[in-house]
Structure 1
Amino acid sequence: MNSCMAWIALVWFGLTAAHPGIVHAQFPTAQMGEVVPRDVRETYEKGLKFLATTQTEGGSWEGGHAGPGVTGMAVMTFLASGEDPNFGIYSGNIRRGLRSMLSGQDATTGIFGGNMGHTSMYNHGFAMLAVAEAYGAVDDADLWSGNGGTNGANGVRSLGHSLELAVRGAVISQKKNQYGGWRYGPDATDADTSVSGAVMVGLLAARNAGIEVPDEAIDRGVAYFKSMTSPSGQVAYAGVGGFGDSIPRTSIGTLVYAISRRKDMSEFKATLGALTNRLEESSSGYLRYGQYYQAQALFQGDVDGWERWNDQLIRELKADQQEDGSFSGSLGKPVDTALGLLAMALNFRFLPIYER
């Protein structure tokens, strides 16, 4: 845990101990004197309550797409909320979600959701990202306390061990892939930029958390995205060519280049330009998925552009939020709610993956 996060945790603990009756979320940006728009705070808290009340006893979420990746997305919304992940009002939701993911991780391959067909590596990428964001913030001792903590013959699995296994699983999967990317299953020999983006961000988050990730894996992943990026900034989906217009794919490419520290590449400049030239447009399909990636891509690439786009995002999400706090979409309420909240969470700038 870095000194800033340690200081925040100390403040949280002091506030919680001094005021045990407090039940409202305390956003970290507010604690540090930064202003978070009221619409953001209210919309975000309403969405968190929906996710908190719809989590299953086993720690997952149901309704639409499900799996360890969906659980990971939801867990990240709580981690980004500003509540202490070990003592805050959502700490139980965080622990149940993490236990669900770690218990379902394949002890041999390290893959999350390896038996989930065409969503296997999506699940792996997002679950790996969530564990990386939790690592160093969530106390392993409290994570398994009073819950048996067994995982087959391996006993209690720590977040660090799980993350190391996940990285190894992703790297082995990539070595089997002729393109240097990933597709639906861990043994796939073809690749697409959507799945590859999920896994690459997970690997980069793990590296940011201090886990050893081979440079070769990152370099091959970046090279794959380079091969799929046109001079105009469009990012193809799969195969050769086919640079169809897609805000989510352009955003994924921008984000991968940015957090892998390749902002000097012409491909990064092209994809970022393609986004900043059309800030008023929305994704035509998979709206929340597009918002999730576009928020991060703009924030990493052009803060001024992100601020203009973010104002629009806040208005849209506030108008779209259902009475129960959820967001509707094509992926199911838990997924679309988590993605919408995570797009908004850049306003708090708390998750390590959101650091610039």
Structure 2
Amino acid sequence: MQHALEGNTMPPMGRRACLGRLMGAGVLAVTGRHSWGANVTKDPKVQAATDRALQYLSRERKRQGYWEANQGTYRAAMTALAGTALLCEGSTTTRGKYAEDISLAVDFLLDACQPSGLIGYPDDYHYTYGHGFSMLFLSQVFGEEEDLDRRRRLQDKLEKAVRFSAEAQTSRGGWGYVSAKEQQDFDEGSTCITQVQGLRACRNAGIVVPREIIDRAKKYIQDCTTPEGGVQYSIRGGGPRPPITAAALAALFNAGEYQGDHVDRLMSYCRTNVWPGAGGIAQAQHFGHWHYTHYYYSQVMYRLEKDWEKYFKEISAELMRTQSTAGGWQDSTIGPVYVSAINTTILQLAKGCLPIYQR
């Protein structure tokens, strides 16, 4: 565990630094409200929809500090996703409109940490998702945490979480729904993505992450890529899938891989199957997991910059069209908290104040 991921990127900008930059650029209102970056046209309708979505998430928090999916499931994953969406607004554990929500979410997840390093609960048969999402969320909090005791606790839990991910990785470099030791070395693509993003977020926050973990995960994604450039469900097959391909592309970007034949093939596949003809988002809902797909593809488009404004205009219009009067979005499979959290994050990417999502 001695070797951290190497990189030549500049240190990530924290939310306080981002806030100062936005104030210096004159793009914050005198009220001090967080606003859009100067490179994106401010749309009051988008801001209003975002505000309603944030308020919806805040209302959905349980008194104990967690969010949950349908039937009370996936509490770690839902808490991390909702907490991340609230962080994107600009609030921290001590400052901002959603400080209480974020602080309670952090405490809930810290209390859910197991001696093994798992963030979540061993009886959750998909705990790898929650573990990855929680590493991402808590690492973003860690970078801004001012309370020294909580900061030390966050560091300890994140270091153990990284070790757990390393030990849970399969012999092929992927991850399954639970640790490889518990599931006969089973792995699949979507869980791999959550681990790569979570590990990279930890690394960006200063937590030591062995380079070989990420390198093996990148190799796994490459091994799951079909000749047409799509990423299949697992290394065993299943055919190319737009959701996993978009997520894999975002994960590769997080891992510092922005170009090359492999990335180009994935990008070409997404242009055909996720955002066909660089347009037609509403018409491309023929595949499942549409919100999941665009949660990751929006991160890719934001980093690419070239087509971001056109893409954001389309995706925000579709999200506003389907938003409920309560401020959230409906989903019968996992639940409204899930799709509402990821959609709210999409709407706030251009704020650029979470290191893991920055260009």
Q: Pick the TM interval, shorter chain.
A: 0.7 to 0.9
- Name the aligned partner's letter for residue 77 of structure 1: A
* Structure 2 residue 194 is the aligned partner of structure 1 residue 201: no
User: Shift in Å at residue 315 of structure 1?
Assistant: 0.6
- Name the aligned partner's letter for residue 266 of structure 1: D
Partner Cα separation in structure 1 for residue 210 and residue 286 of structure 2: 34
SS at match of 2:307: helix
Partner Cα separation in structure 2 for residue 282 and residue 307 of structure 1: 21
Partner of 2:206: 210
SS at match of 1:243: strand
Partner of 1:172: 167
User: Shift in Å at residue 239 of structure 1?
Assistant: 3.9
Partner of 1:326: 328
SS at match of 2:233: coil
Residue in structure 2 matching 1:121, options 115, 125, 128 = 128
Q: Which shifted more, 94-103 or 227-236?
A: 227-236
User: Shift in Å at residue 349 of structure 1?
Assistant: 1.8
* Structure 2 residue 356 is the aligned partner of structure 1 residue 353: yes
* Structure 2 residue 300 is the aligned partner of structure 1 residue 297: yes
Partner of 2:99: 91
User: Shift in Å at residue 3 of structure 1?
Assistant: 6.4
Alignment RMSD (CA, Å): 2.6
Partner of 1:309: 311
Partner of 2:6: none
Partner Cα separation in structure 1 for residue 116 and residue 229 of structure 2: 35
Where does structure 1 lack aligned partners over 5 or more consecutive residues?
14-18, 144-155
* Structure 2 residue 247 is the aligned partner of structure 1 residue 252: yes
- Label 1:117 to 1:8 Cα distance change in 2 as closer, same or farther (>3 A): closer
What's the CA shift string for 1:165-204, capped at 9, x where partnerless?
1111101111xx1211100112331110001111111001
TM-score, scaled relative to structure 1: 0.85
- Name the aligned partner's letter for residue 239 of structure 2: F
SS at match of 2:232: coil
- Label 1:124 to 1:46 Cα distance change in 2 as closer, same or farther (>3 A): same
Contact 2:15 2:90 (8 Å CA) reproduced: no
* Structure 2 residue 200 is the aligned partner of structure 1 residue 241: no
Contact 1:47 1:337 (8 Å CA) reproduced: yes
* Structure 2 residue 47 is the aligned partner of structure 1 residue 47: no
Partner of 1:69: 77
Partner Cα separation in structure 1 for residue 245 and residue 200 of structure 2: 18
TM-score, scaled relative to structure 2: 0.84
Partner of 1:29: 36
User: Shift in Å at residue 105 of structure 1?
Assistant: 0.7
* Structure 2 residue 90 is the aligned partner of structure 1 residue 82: yes
**Runs of at least 4 residues off by over 4 Å:** 1-4, 8-13, 32-35
Partner of 1:146: none
Identity of aligned residues (%): 25
- Name the aligned partner's letter for residue 162 of structure 1: K
SS at match of 1:237: strand
Residue in structure 2 matching 1:219, options 215, 222, 233 = 215
Q: Which shifted more, 186-195 or 88-97?
A: 186-195
Residue in structure 2 matching 1:265, options 260, 264, 283 = 260
SS at match of 2:230: coil
- Label 1:263 to 1:11 Cα distance change in 2 as closer, same or farther (>3 A): closer
What's the CA shift string for 1:53-111, capped at 9, x where partnerless?
121111111341432111000001111012354221110000000100010010x2111
- Label 1:36 to 1:83 Cα distance change in 2 as closer, same or farther (>3 A): farther
Partner of 1:16: none
Partner Cα separation in structure 1 for residue 146 and residue 230 of structure 2: 42
SS at match of 1:88: coil
Between the two proteins, the alignment pairs up a number of residues equal to: 330
- Label 1:320 to 1:3 Cα distance change in 2 as closer, same or farther (>3 A): closer
* Structure 2 residue 289 is the aligned partner of structure 1 residue 286: yes
Partner Cα separation in structure 1 for residue 213 and residue 92 of structure 2: 33
What's the CA shift string for 1:121-141, capped at 9, x where partnerless?
011111111111111113335
Partner of 1:130: 137
Q: Which shifted more, 43-52 or 257-266?
A: 257-266
Where does structure 2 lack aligned partners over 5 or more consecutive residues?
1-10, 24-28
Q: Which shifted more, 120-129 or 305-314?
A: 305-314
User: Shift in Å at residue 117 of structure 1?
Assistant: 3.4
Q: Which shifted more, 251-260 or 275-284?
A: 275-284
User: Shift in Å at residue 50 of structure 1?
Assistant: 0.7
Residue in structure 2 matching 1:181, options 159, 166, 174 = 174
